[in-house]
A and B are shown apart, each in its own frame.
Chain A
């Protein structure tokens, strides 16, 4: 494979044949200036305003939709009996899934010492948080009486009643709130040193104060760094089981139910893999335009894109296995319910959704991602990432809708049709996400400067033999 890549490309490390994770020629100062410059510049690019406005405009869909929703009730959506869950839950799972890549990049890859993650982890984490914000909207607004949604939390009350902890939805409350909290904390902790840098490089007094406050007085003390590293590692260690558990718990929303098509043990791994799959697709969707727009090709290199595509290939494979296993089990289980569910999913009135899902999630990505050429083809990756995101949305659609609308009792079969309000709120959350993301790239360092610095060759501490020996001696 390596032979097919032009070896004279300066971005390729001649020893490994891989693309470098950071373009040669950078030093501490240059990376700091480049990244901090995006935030601290006084010349905001016009495109940024345009993007922010566009996101904001689309996000009004959420506002309008939710206003009408609160006025009228969830009946403005397409939900009905038997399909009592619809877009809201589909979107919730989709958004949460997208969020997973961020945690994966910042936590799991950190634990595995995958240093290439450093350039992309900050905005992957931001993506996580914004995705969780979008996702978190849905469970709140999808309940019939959203003004009572706080009943899902255990708090002392005059009714002496409490949440019911056998319900996966109660687990969701714990999982999603923990996930949101830990993600934000992890994200913030990661930014503390960078806030210090921004404080020190800012010229506007207001920016100085704001970043100064946010940095909590960070001064790069070595003792701080050691505790900081320790905390980061711990947070990474905690986030790893967390991220796995969150989508597992969300898969329990389905797997715990008795419904054929939901009631399956394969859901946890397959949901987690699917989440990472869609999450990486979203990272690509975001990274590709941003690196272009802010000329960050030096730090978000083809190596990153290649690696992410490889992760997608792997997780996509797990997802494909999940689909295959669902089909197999519906036959092998010898259960009429399962058999009918699968048949209906494929050939029933909503069979089209299943085939879209197979096409976009399996057929297109899993055949093409084997090719390195395509993996480093930026345009192709961008298009593919959109395709996979669509596919993953359809996966949730297939799971939620096609299992529900024809279940056990044929008399209660129905159908599901989304309304304009469903679409408005869904698209609105995309706008909200875009809006938040544009704010992020403008005001926060989207690439962790301290971590990029660590990847530079200048980092190496060269020592003479005697000094090293004395250190060892003293340590003993």
Chain B
């Protein structure tokens, strides 16, 4: 019985002194377990330690570096991390660890007696010495802050339990975020509690302290002539305060230089806007005004990697929402790597990156240019006509990873179509000091090589890992006498630097930042830095008159410049609201864009094999590599988890004679990397897409180390977006990629050609069996705008995308009538309370498939809310990922150019739930309000419920997945949700903890629960309001209204499980000319 436990409740009463104890425990936890049972030929961690013993400073890390290249080390890595590795001999590694031993002892004790006989150990209480006045233990508090991201800050509201941040969500009061968030922002929580974060200031491999660094740095800089030789290499700056501080530094040391560097940057847009308008501008798109949206390789629905993701996604989905009498927008996407944006589009054209530039130029020049590809030509003609028809009501969005030519074309198009000022406005850049980063970095490396750099201070960057390969950053780095690295992790760069300063997380420090629309948010700390740590503000302040001035003071000083009115009031309001009023950018008049010089525009393809570099949809540029939630998150479209791969089309795979899931070697300009091969439906031919951010070395931490391959090693400064002339050769052996869900490798390729209804239609084997079945089983239903106008009830009567009653034989997918049941009235969910005459609550959920963009925000939100464990690559590979919510992706039609459908799938809370009926111990039962509730502490783990669940949404703790050991992770857990132990089933609970909490509040106030009192975690995160939860008995509630719509349908309804979650069938608005 004690094996289930909410590890955090005991900590709730912890008072002062916890930080110290935690740091200590952490130090111990940081020591790797000494392994003794691995066969002799392999390295053990002990041996690694021995090899490194006695080496200090640079030598130490060099040694590790050499070591890291040996095959034995890679083998060791595979076994040591991820920690739950099960596949090969990995399972032997921690044979009887302390934890395992205790568990066995516990188990045998439990076996010895009856349930009640297992005694609990004494539990201590640590009360406060002085309890903070506003603290009510057990009641969370919410604070507004913002997550600074290179493309603009994401305003957030942080839920704190006893001053421990336990959930990051969008700030509902912010004009841009409106309470919405995304996967990466959600995951920054785990990033903060990452047990592998750097904890000390390190000088040449030895622990040092901040004071020493300050004095040494300040003294050294003072000695220079005006800062000559002092170089800062910073991540993209979005903080006005930091910019102001830099200005002060520059005033004091005019020769000091600051270079900003992000491996995934906005150079294309910068270059293009400079060329077109003579200055750097950012574009803001008003999608609510646009009827036709064209994305030129812009993944604006994919996540915050695209600037303004939140408002763009919200506006797009609002425009795409179907309602009788309301118009719908139409989305065209021309892209290379298939993205969720592409698959949400009515019309998607897959082109090589070089062809996209051609296409964009052709589009900008009118139809005069003809394209060689007939499909593209047809697409272009139709698109151009549609755009012209909708001048001023359309918008062209270029992607940040598209070439400058594409941006130039977009500027020209938006201008010529009369969109500027209507659907697109140009503003100052979010980055107060915009620059073209690759060029700047190149110059910096040149200076380093020339010996001009005396001090290289790196602020939150990891150039050793991210710098373009041809710059040979490591060589240049050697030539710098003193290097200082400020970073949250002792990463690839930090471990080689003279100084390493542990950086505070944004949840631990003061700062400010601008969002996409220019609005400034004050970033306030949620918790004392877990491991001390300093921010960029502190580093820059070191060089100023008052080196001890805190970041708080610095921010306040800058804030005085942008907070109008009474400062004290304004400051408090800014902190409370999470944003500063009146700081949004005003539109900038930029004039007609100048045409791009033909040389730059003529980015033509040589027809060779291209390779495109893309930020990872989950890990971005690698900064989230050690965040387990994001590593395990199945990537958008590919559903690849814990890996990256050489992504290509079926045809390319066939032509190049590669094996899917097999190993291959990519060679580009003499640089080679070994990759696994994965086919992506809809990927254009003759181009390979690789995701950046993988292949981190051991320094990344226990999660990120050794996952995937490092695509940065192929990337050059000249062609950071895509490169021509790649070669790929097949290697022996398979890689065993970790792909979840639908197009699980086994269910594709050769097997997918078996098509039941049309046995001859797919001899090529280019249909997805799963996608095909999803349509036949009426799991996915949609119609065109024309069809829905003719027949609003298409979801139950059939349409081009709704095969209800068409396929199969019976009424496929329709709910049987209630009186067809043997026991129609066994349970009634419409009871009235005798004393108040109120109708009872009946919880239900509705998910609008038209709005779901497959961005994964809901999944990460669910991770945080429900204490879902990360299981590791080997476990995910065999299908044991624990996400309660998944986004099912189905590919319909020819996999060369498929339609894709996203369907969030979690427990459906069936009224006649199959799972409940077969549980022999009654561990899953129905509540009077219609929840299918899972009682973890009653579960013995027969797993029968999962077998009988047609939605397969139940998750089982096959091993001990929850981490009961790592101290920092205990602080992160939601105290209202039990941490599940091994051997119990779990699943989506409709966030029952939130329901119960709302019920208690309402009961205390003697009122009914109001619509909107309960917001599930997934609903809260969803940037497009696709998910709605509430009381279906309250006919005025949002969810009841949604369910009353004709397009509402339950999945697999014919099984008569009567799910409480239903879906709203999609409506698309295709261009008849392209249909």
**How many pairs of A and B residues are in contact by the CB < 8 Å rule?**
228
Q: Which of B736-752 touch A at CB < 8 Å?
A: 741-742, 744, 746-747, 751
Cβ-defined contact, A144 with B940, below 8 A: yes
Cβ-defined contact, A85 with B943, below 8 A: yes
**In this assembly, does A412 line the interface, its C-beta being within 8 Å of a C-beta of chain B?**
yes
B814 shortest CB reach to chain A, Å: 13
Which residues of chain B are within 8 angstroms of A172 by Cβ–Cβ distance? 920
Cβ-defined contact, A411 with B905, below 8 A: yes
For A61-92 the 0/1 string (1 means CB < 8 A from B) is: 00000000011111110111111110000000
Given A143-B983, A157-B114, A340-B773, the answer on whether A74 and B958 have CB atoms closer than 8 Å is yes
**In this assembly, does B919 line the interface, its C-beta being within 8 Å of a C-beta of chain A?**
yes
**Chain B residue with minimal CB distance to A74?**
B958
**In this assembly, does A472 line the interface, its C-beta being within 8 Å of a C-beta of chain B?**
no
**In this assembly, does B243 line the interface, its C-beta being within 8 Å of a C-beta of chain A?**
no
**Chain A residue with minimal CB distance to B100?**
A71
Cβ-defined contact, A151 with B921, below 8 A: yes
Which residues of chain B are within 8 angstroms of A166 by Cβ–Cβ distance? 917-918
Cβ-defined contact, A144 with B952, below 8 A: no
Binds A, one of B211-219, B267-275, B872-880: B872-880
Which residues of chain A are within 8 angstroms of B1052 by Cβ–Cβ distance? 408-409
Cβ-defined contact, A81 with B86, below 8 A: no
A417 shortest CB reach to chain B, Å: 7
Which residues of chain B are within 8 angstroms of A336 by Cβ–Cβ distance? 776-777, 807-810, 812
Given A84-B946, A169-B944, the answer on whether A75 and B959 have CB atoms closer than 8 Å is yes
| Candidates A84, A155, A256, A411; contact of B956 at CB < 8 Å | A84
**In this assembly, does A148 line the interface, its C-beta being within 8 Å of a C-beta of chain B?**
yes
Binds B, one of A9-17, A97-105, A341-349, A360-368: A341-349
Q: Which of A240-262 touch B at CB < 8 Å?
A: 253, 256-259
Which residues of chain A are within 8 angstroms of B747 by Cβ–Cβ distance? 349, 406, 410, 413
**Chain B residue with minimal CB distance to A150?**
B114
| Candidates B96, B115, B950; contact of A148 at CB < 8 Å | B115
Q: Which of B798-853 touch A at CB < 8 Å?
A: 807-810, 812
Cβ-defined contact, A410 with B774, below 8 A: yes
Q: Which of A347, A348, A417 has the most CB atoms of chain B within a 10 A radius of its CB?
A: A348
Q: Which of A328-348 touch B at CB < 8 Å?
A: 334-336, 339-340, 343, 347-348
Given A157-B115, A336-B808, the answer on whether A257 and B914 have CB atoms closer than 8 Å is yes
| Candidates A80, A142, A144, A343; contact of B957 at CB < 8 Å | A144
Cβ-defined contact, B111 with A167, below 8 A: no
Roughly how many angstroms separate A143 CA and B432 CA in the complex, as a whole number? 59
**In this assembly, does B948 line the interface, its C-beta being within 8 Å of a C-beta of chain A?**
yes
Cβ-defined contact, B754 with A347, below 8 A: yes
| Candidates B751, B808, B888; contact of A348 at CB < 8 Å | B751
Which residues of chain A are within 8 angstroms of B1051 by Cβ–Cβ distance? 409
Cβ-defined contact, B744 with A164, below 8 A: no
Which residues of chain A are within 8 angstroms of B953 by Cβ–Cβ distance? 412
**In this assembly, does A152 line the interface, its C-beta being within 8 Å of a C-beta of chain B?**
yes
| Candidates A71, A76, A407; contact of B950 at CB < 8 Å | A407
Given A81-B946, A85-B943, the answer on whether A144 and B982 have CB atoms closer than 8 Å is yes
Cβ-defined contact, A412 with B951, below 8 A: yes
Cβ-defined contact, B751 with A349, below 8 A: yes
**Chain A residue with minimal CB distance to B772?**
A410
Q: Which of A131-155 touch B at CB < 8 Å?
A: 142-152, 155
B575 shortest CB reach to chain A, Å: 44
Cβ-defined contact, A163 with B878, below 8 A: no
Cβ-defined contact, B742 with A408, below 8 A: no
**In this assembly, does B771 line the interface, its C-beta being within 8 Å of a C-beta of chain A?**
yes
Q: Which of B890-915 touch A at CB < 8 Å?
A: 890, 903, 905, 914
Roughly how many angstroms separate A80 CA and B107 CA in the complex, as a whole number? 23
**In this assembly, does B662 line the interface, its C-beta being within 8 Å of a C-beta of chain A?**
no
Which residues of chain B are within 8 angstroms of A151 by Cβ–Cβ distance? 115, 921, 938, 940
Cβ-defined contact, A411 with B107, below 8 A: no
Cβ-defined contact, A404 with B947, below 8 A: yes
Cβ-defined contact, B960 with A80, below 8 A: no
A253 shortest CB reach to chain B, Å: 8
**In this assembly, does A456 line the interface, its C-beta being within 8 Å of a C-beta of chain B?**
no
Which residues of chain A are within 8 angstroms of B51 by Cβ–Cβ distance? none
For B915-932 the 0/1 string (1 means CB < 8 A from A) is: 001111110000000000
Cβ-defined contact, A410 with B890, below 8 A: yes
For A166-203 the 0/1 string (1 means CB < 8 A from B) is: 11111011000000000000000000000000000000
**Chain B residue with minimal CB distance to A340?**
B756
Roughly how many angstroms separate A413 CA and B773 CA in the complex, as a whole number? 11
Cβ-defined contact, B918 with A75, below 8 A: no
Which residues of chain B are within 8 angstroms of A82 by Cβ–Cβ distance? 879, 946-947, 952
| Candidates B114, B779, B808, B1055; contact of A410 at CB < 8 Å | B779
**In this assembly, does A1 line the interface, its C-beta being within 8 Å of a C-beta of chain B?**
no
**In this assembly, does A222 line the interface, its C-beta being within 8 Å of a C-beta of chain B?**
no
Roughly how many angstroms separate A397 CA and B496 CA in the complex, as a whole number? 55
Roughly how many angstroms separate A72 CA and B985 CA in the complex, as a whole number? 16
Cβ-defined contact, A75 with B952, below 8 A: no
Cβ-defined contact, B946 with A152, below 8 A: no
Roughly how many angstroms separate A340 CA and B770 CA in the complex, as a whole number? 12
B33 shortest CB reach to chain A, Å: 16
**In this assembly, does B110 line the interface, its C-beta being within 8 Å of a C-beta of chain A?**
yes
**In this assembly, does B1000 line the interface, its C-beta being within 8 Å of a C-beta of chain A?**
no
Given A80-B958, A161-B922, A167-B920, the answer on whether A413 and B983 have CB atoms closer than 8 Å is no
**In this assembly, does B3 line the interface, its C-beta being within 8 Å of a C-beta of chain A?**
yes
Which residues of chain B are within 8 angstroms of A149 by Cβ–Cβ distance? 940
Cβ-defined contact, A409 with B960, below 8 A: no
Which residues of chain B are within 8 angstroms of A144 by Cβ–Cβ distance? 939-943, 956-958, 982-985
Roughly how many angstroms separate A144 CA and B939 CA in the complex, as a whole number? 8
Cβ-defined contact, A408 with B920, below 8 A: no
Roughly how many angstroms separate A336 CA and B812 CA in the complex, as a whole number? 8
**In this assembly, does A414 line the interface, its C-beta being within 8 Å of a C-beta of chain B?**
yes
Which residues of chain A are within 8 angstroms of B918 by Cβ–Cβ distance? 166-169, 256-257
**In this assembly, does B671 line the interface, its C-beta being within 8 Å of a C-beta of chain A?**
no
| Candidates B807, B955, B1055; contact of A81 at CB < 8 Å | B955
**In this assembly, does B1065 line the interface, its C-beta being within 8 Å of a C-beta of chain A?**
no
Q: Which of B116, B747, B756, B951 has the most CB atoms of chain A within a 10 A radius of its CB?
A: B747
Cβ-defined contact, A157 with B116, below 8 A: yes
Roughly how many angstroms separate A143 CA and B108 CA in the complex, as a whole number? 16
Given A85-B947, A170-B920, A409-B779, the answer on whether A258 and B958 have CB atoms closer than 8 Å is no
Given A343-B756, A408-B1052, A413-B744, the answer on whether A143 and B942 have CB atoms closer than 8 Å is yes
| Candidates A76, A145, A406, A417; contact of B941 at CB < 8 Å | A145
Roughly how many angstroms separate A167 CA and B918 CA in the complex, as a whole number? 4
**In this assembly, does B769 line the interface, its C-beta being within 8 Å of a C-beta of chain A?**
yes
Cβ-defined contact, A164 with B91, below 8 A: no
Roughly how many angstroms separate A312 CA and B79 CA in the complex, as a whole number? 50
B357 shortest CB reach to chain A, Å: 36
Given A72-B91, A164-B919, the answer on whether A415 and B950 have CB atoms closer than 8 Å is no
B919 shortest CB reach to chain A, Å: 6
**In this assembly, does A321 line the interface, its C-beta being within 8 Å of a C-beta of chain B?**
no
A42 shortest CB reach to chain B, Å: 41
A300 shortest CB reach to chain B, Å: 41
Cβ-defined contact, B920 with A152, below 8 A: yes
**In this assembly, does A43 line the interface, its C-beta being within 8 Å of a C-beta of chain B?**
no
B773 shortest CB reach to chain A, Å: 4
Cβ-defined contact, A259 with B948, below 8 A: yes
Roughly how many angstroms separate A172 CA and B955 CA in the complex, as a whole number? 24
| Chain A residues at the B interface, C-beta cutoff of 8 Å | 70-76, 78-85, 142-152, 155, 157-159, 161-164, 166-170, 172-173, 253, 256-259, 334-336, 339-340, 343, 347-349, 404, 406-415, 417
Question: 12 A-B residue contacts at CB 8 Å?
Answer: A73-B959, A76-B959, A143-B941, A148-B1, A151-B115, A163-B920, A167-B918, A169-B919, A173-B920, A257-B918, A409-B950, A410-B769
Identify the 7 closest CB pairs spanning chains A and B, nearest first.
A144-B941, A144-B983, A75-B958, A412-B952, A334-B809, A411-B888, A410-B770
Instruction: With A74-B941, A258-B1057, A335-B809 given, name 19 new contacts (CB 8 A).
Output: A73-B982, A74-B958, A80-B958, A144-B942, A144-B943, A144-B956, A144-B958, A148-B115, A161-B921, A163-B921, A258-B948, A336-B810, A407-B952, A408-B777, A409-B952, A410-B769, A410-B774, A412-B951, A415-B746
